[in-house]
Amino acid sequence: MNRVLFFILSCPLVAYAEVSDKMATQPELWAQGAVVGCILGVAIRWSKWVNLVGFPIVALFFYLAYDTLAQPDIGPAIIKEQGSSYIVALYGSATLALIGLAIGNYMFRGKCKNA
């Protein structure tokens, strides 16, 4: 019995995994964008110099969204498995970060006018 069990466990097995198993879920993407947007908004409201870090972070979000979908092996598989809503979630996450950056700059401008 032990030899049979050892033989079965020692045989290599092929694992079939989808691309979606390795990617962030859509709620995670939205949460990441919202959290980064809020952090950038508050930080820029506090100091305008945070824009030096904020703009590259937002640009990185957009680049990573594009890069994920542009890869020839990952992009079509994600669209096939998740649908077009994953594209909306990817770019929506980056857009939330951009909105947080814009709101932070708007609030900083208002703070300077009131001071």
pLDDT in tens, 56-108: 999 999 999 999 999 998 899 899 989 899 999 999 999 999 999 999 988 87
Within the chain, strands assigned E span none
Look up the domain containing 96 and give its range. 2-114
Beta-carbon count within 10 A of 53 CB:
12
For 20, which DSSP code? Answer: G
Arithmetic mean of pLDDT, 32-58: 92
* Residues ≥6 apart with Cβ < 8 Å to 42: 104
The model's pTM: 0.78
Q: How many domains does the chain have?
A: 1
Instruction: State the pLDDT at residue 99.
Output: 96
